[in-house]
Structure 1
């Protein structure tokens, strides 16, 4: 009997295909992940930092800035912090950090797979997957969260790669120490030691458990959970940290119950920086831009790269620390009272502090201010729309910082938009002082407070110059048409096409000499002079005098319609005090590398623009401004020295100027609000009232220290021999009588040679000038 044959079970091909597909996809997925990580590690998603550079004191050496009187006035350093060692950190601070941020810290190698999977499964509701090492990686190299999702993914991959590299190179203790030393606890508290001193006035090793928990809470958001500005929110988050410590047996239930009810008692005091204590930060950051451009050119030419923040350079400047302090104090002395007057003038006004604009235009200004703020950038990075951000800016806050001349004031239940509106009321100022003989800048005050107003009013801001432009018009006429101070010009009404300027506060008719016209800042005289020479010739002279900004080619520039910088104006005026030789204002004398090699030296740009006679004629005319004109108020400040100068005020008093010349120092001052629509009502902000007093306070202090600073009240302008005879004032018109004066080249002083011979070591040892364009 035949045995029945066993039936062969047929294999289901689809099952095997699915299994094969599963393994293929799994291997492909794993391979893709490893491929992406490998690609990231070799820079396919952008360059990665070299972790060898971390905390290497030989690599990160700050560059030092020295004043001409031998003072170390500041440094270019990547961060201001007080580093500590791991042994200085109390154990309970480490426990709080582990409990809140990374309880498996000692069990992973930079990336915690379990935490990542948990974060993915819960979509972030149960916390993120970042380890302490990843947070350090972000602090060190990526800093801000990327705005788009794709960029965020790329950023996270880079953080993973760098985290693994950090774990390979450093111990766990070193990584924790770097993280706490690196974290920015705001209010200039960079690092845990600076934070302990700022918020509690103690060293980190003396922190209590509660205080340590406060700082760990701040790691989530140092602004939102700040014990100084948001104490209630800080307490709630501190208690979250304490509960985590109890969860992981770092605290008993009894200890937790006692600590969670403790109030947070801060002893807040911001750490001072060298710049804020005595010097202006504005010239430092102008210097930063200039030197970085110089180093780019240097690298292209010589193949050597320099870094301001790492290479330990020594930068010697012409800034005199004493005169710098005098400039800052002069601004504060005048603006404190002026600011009070301005606030009083704006009380009850719906459009405050603006004039002659609509409510919608005012709102546009406020919203523009919002978009320039770091808060806006922070919210934008989180993906909020402009409408949502505007809503956030209008919400009341627990505490908002306000600038005052007495120090930072904190106001409660005000919005960020309220803060913007307040700061639009603040009067700004700039001051630049230089030696006209060699072009070296002695004082550079670009604003009133770098922390609040990071905008330089010396070289960055271009403002309408008003009547301070008129000397360029007069100099062109004198240079081209041989006019002298006694030359007469009609004061009758003037019209050219549709332009019909008006005198401000002065009658029409008769004739005025150039000396009278400039002293009283008579608009008809300036209008007629530019009509004779043409605007093109005036613009060319201004360019020769160092003005690089664009000047419109029309007659209105005679009354100051151009927007120029204080830096340009002071440099141009210095030419008059320097016998017609323009020297570009400079403040960097030399830059040395860490080995003492000079990589940048003082090489001033000089050129002859005017003859000695024309230059001195302009000095004589501007001395008239001080003796009989709009600048005569200087004598009320105890200044008896020879001074030439010019006041300037623009439409509605938006910009107020005074530039004063002495034989050894030319100083310009600008005063105004950030926005041109903000100003005193009417004509209360003439240059003689807003800007001139600052100049006078500054120069009085300089003269009081004259023997030490080389600037004395007895200094005299150098008068060209025989110029009185060449000023032929015997006729009504008073034309120049050159006689046998010789060529301009024959009389050119050897300034370039003198400047080069002056070694670095030696340098180290009622107003009618307002205008109206509306007519």
Structure 2
């Protein structure tokens, strides 16, 4: 007992010490800031050391940043209208009536002003930008983990944080800058000016049409479909209550969020009652108001986020990363430091509010056409497993081979919602056998380890880790086969053997150069799609486009140019192709992949696309969890994937994605024929390498000798049979795998690849190991 009491006393003593330290530090800081404001030299020196990187801003500097609130940023297609002006996709922030910002406190409901003052800053009209006791109180509440926290930032400080400061990290240096700037801002602008700028700067989440709501006018329209001046008391209280946690209180994110927002609204109303802004009667009447019934209804014509939400959000992110790099930030380093997400959010806000013009690579006609046609005559199923519901999805990308520009994409089969995933650009999936040309055969030909006619013995072989054997689909083996034949039918064993002969490090080095780096723990199974991590459709498609571009790799991109509000170019895409494969290797791989669509695992495609010089590769993961086809002409590469978000098995065979691919190809060719020239051909550059006859030549010779001996024995057996017996049948030779879909021509099924999804804890304990690696 005494031991526990002693521990509690030490804990109380430590807490008193922390409180005393915190209080002392705060008042010391406050004194320094006061001295700074009064011009005391020592105060200026110490404070200057804390905010050494922050420039001394004039009123004009503040005005420039604050005026950015009245600018909107826009996104454009690559297409132009009849006047040769780029076709606008939409506004990044608000558009139409959502675009309007208030110019005076008289432009909003008095209830809204009172709600902000009562909840966010009760001393707003009397302080000088900061309230030391409020900051100390907030720090104390955080220290003792109080159930209810009141916040320490004044409205002026919040405005500085929202608009002026770029660094959003919650540290002492940033807080010091915030306080200094708030004091200066308060001295240069009137209270009502600051309040107007503040109400225009606050983010309120997404409205009923999924548009970003910046400013109270946008919030009033996006949440309740009324002008900010027409907000009633409970609506004003609801909006004011959203400031600190706009997503958690967003009524369009579900019933739970709505109820959280209503509780917050009730707190705001109570604050207004306590400060004398409303009467008890008004308070009780407001509590009875049906907020849910007053919410705005969707308007499909509202802005770009309604018509092209996946494009707009993709452009937001890519533009933000461009601006980050423009400011000298290293995205990879930010990720390692855990600061990428917070920094990205800060720059996304700049994209939305600084008047930028973002010119995309998207072809509107092609985008509209392929998204309309992609799912034609396809049935997408739903599945539920252990309470998790899944819907079959489709992701596809079309890339210009010459530049890497993304011309169009299919983001999924579901309509956009706030939790929607872009299956074309963002979702990483296991690649299946589509990886074989990129990791195995392309590098091996480039390194002169093999040539297309090199013989490889297709046989059952053990795994390097001793866990079992690699097998082909159907557990059939074909003896000596050429590399070309092995790729045509997507046999697993030859790919493993070639990869091991090439060297894993060498093969993986090519993936890194192609923008699809391997995981550090990947091994030989990666050769047949057994990777630890997957890749996005966009990145896989760009990697395949390298073969179509004579071995030159272009990183996929979505933005061609970014200008500021005055039209000055601040960033423009510079094409910088990287030589990965020689033209000879690229042509040889392309020629091999031609056979895939002519008579191999991709014949379903070849029998339906006529007149084009077409090459491509299928890919399937274990249990049909991921179904791929990536194909290309001399001008464009189209990659398509289908599957579930949660790794369920598809209800279809691998023709499902191929049908979608055919739909996409035909729609794109019809809508944008300039990218689909039937006369374009892959040109043979000459001097093709063909110097490797076989791998494991001795082993192949022994295999052939054994087969000859077996054939001789069969002949001898036949010759020695009594004359009244029927002749012995020749040994059967297993045909290539065949799903029998729409013959002729017959289409082989794609063998599966090792999944990257985590298996159940008891998987593999109840039955012998079976080859999980698909084609």
Rounded Cα–Cα distance in structure 2 between residues aligned with 1:129 and 1:500: 64
Provide, for residues 725-775 of structure 1, a one-character-per-residue CA deviation record: whole Å limited to 9, x for no partner: x9999xxx9xxxxxxxxxxxxxxxxxxxxxxxxxxxxxxxx5233135669
Rounded Cα–Cα distance in structure 2 between residues aligned with 1:502 and 1:686: 20
Provide, for residues 603-642 of structure 1, a one-character-per-residue CA deviation record: whole Å limited to 9, x for no partner: 3324372344x43343232222223232233368776644
From 495, 500, 504, give the equivalent of 1:526. Answer: 495
Rounded Cα–Cα distance in structure 2 between residues aligned with 1:159 and 1:685: 58
1:503 Cα deviation from its structure 2 partner: 0.6
Match of 2:195?
176
1:34 matched to 2:31? The reply is: yes
Rounded Cα–Cα distance in structure 2 between residues aligned with 1:309 and 1:231: 26
From 561, 568, 575, give the equivalent of 1:603. Answer: 575
Provide, for residues 237-284 of structure 1, a one-character-per-residue CA deviation record: whole Å limited to 9, x for no partner: 656655665666655565555555443332334685524521523354
Match of 1:403?
none
Query: Is the 1:577–1:717 contact (alpha carbons within 8 Å) kept by the matching residues of 2?
Result: no
1:679 matched to 2:655? The reply is: no
SS where residue 328 of structure 2 aligns?
Answer: helix
SS where residue 342 of structure 1 aligns?
Answer: strand
CA RMSD between the two structures: 5.2
Query: Is the 2:561–2:569 contact (alpha carbons within 8 Å) kept by the matching residues of 1?
Result: no
Rounded Cα–Cα distance in structure 2 between residues aligned with 1:604 and 1:179: 43
Rounded Cα–Cα distance in structure 1 between residues aligned with 2:26 and 2:319: 52
Provide, for residues 674-724 of structure 1, a one-character-per-residue CA deviation record: whole Å limited to 9, x for no partner: 5xxx4234x8576543x43443332121022143x4325x34423439999
Match of 2:307?
277
Match of 1:341?
382
Segments of structure 2 that go 5 or more residues without pairing to the other structure are: 1-23, 37-42, 80-85, 207-211, 331-346, 698-747, 755-770
TM-score for both structures, normalised by structure 1: 0.64
1:645 Cα deviation from its structure 2 partner: 0.9
1:660 Cα deviation from its structure 2 partner: 0.8
Rounded Cα–Cα distance in structure 1 between residues aligned with 2:136 and 2:525: 70
1:711 matched to 2:708? The reply is: no
Change (3 A) 1:63 1:603: farther
1:203 Cα deviation from its structure 2 partner: 0.8
Change (3 A) 1:456 1:477: same
Rounded Cα–Cα distance in structure 1 between residues aligned with 2:226 and 2:87: 30
Rounded Cα–Cα distance in structure 2 between residues aligned with 1:157 and 1:81: 33
1:68 matched to 2:74? The reply is: no
1:296 matched to 2:328? The reply is: yes
1:697 matched to 2:724? The reply is: no
Rounded Cα–Cα distance in structure 2 between residues aligned with 1:655 and 1:277: 29
**Counterparts in 2 of 1:476-487, with a 5 A limit?**
476=443
Match of 2:342?
none
Larger deviation: 279-288 or 489-498?
Answer: 489-498
**Counterparts in 2 of 1:5-404, with a 5 A limit?**
33-35=30-32, 37=34, 38=36, 42=48, 44=50, 50=57, 52-53=61-62, 56-57=66-67, 65-69=75-79, 70-73=86-89, 82-86=100-104, 87-99=106-118, 105-111=124-130, 131-137=154-160, 139-140=162-163, 160-187=179-206, 188-219=212-243, 222=246, 229=255, 238=265, 251=278, 258-264=285-291, 265-269=293-297, 274-275=304-305, 277-278=307-308, 279-280=310-311, 281-282=313-314, 284-290=316-322, 292-296=324-328, 314-326=357-369, 337-338=379-380, 340-343=381-384, 346=385, 349=386
SS where residue 178 of structure 1 aligns?
Answer: helix
Provide, for residues 297-349 of structure 1, a one-character-per-residue CA deviation record: whole Å limited to 9, x for no partner: 99xxxxxxx986787565544332333445555667799x53x3333xx2xx4
Rounded Cα–Cα distance in structure 2 between residues aligned with 1:117 and 1:194: 34
1:174 Cα deviation from its structure 2 partner: 1.5
Segments of structure 1 that go 5 or more residues without pairing to the other structure are: 1-26, 299-305, 354-421, 734-765
Rounded Cα–Cα distance in structure 1 between residues aligned with 2:258 and 2:541: 49
Larger deviation: 514-523 or 135-144?
Answer: 135-144
Provide, for residues 56-96 of structure 1, a one-character-per-residue CA deviation record: whole Å limited to 9, x for no partner: 43698666544322333466779996411222113343344
Match of 1:9?
none
Rounded Cα–Cα distance in structure 1 between residues aligned with 2:175 and 2:570: 43
SS where residue 505 of structure 1 aligns?
Answer: helix
Change (3 A) 1:494 1:56: same
Change (3 A) 1:273 1:583: same
Larger deviation: 170-179 or 645-654?
Answer: 645-654
1:507 matched to 2:476? The reply is: yes
Rounded Cα–Cα distance in structure 1 between residues aligned with 2:669 and 2:251: 48
SS where residue 125 of structure 2 aligns?
Answer: helix
Larger deviation: 446-455 or 514-523?
Answer: 446-455
1:659 Cα deviation from its structure 2 partner: 0.9
Change (3 A) 1:154 1:536: closer
SS where residue 602 of structure 1 aligns?
Answer: coil
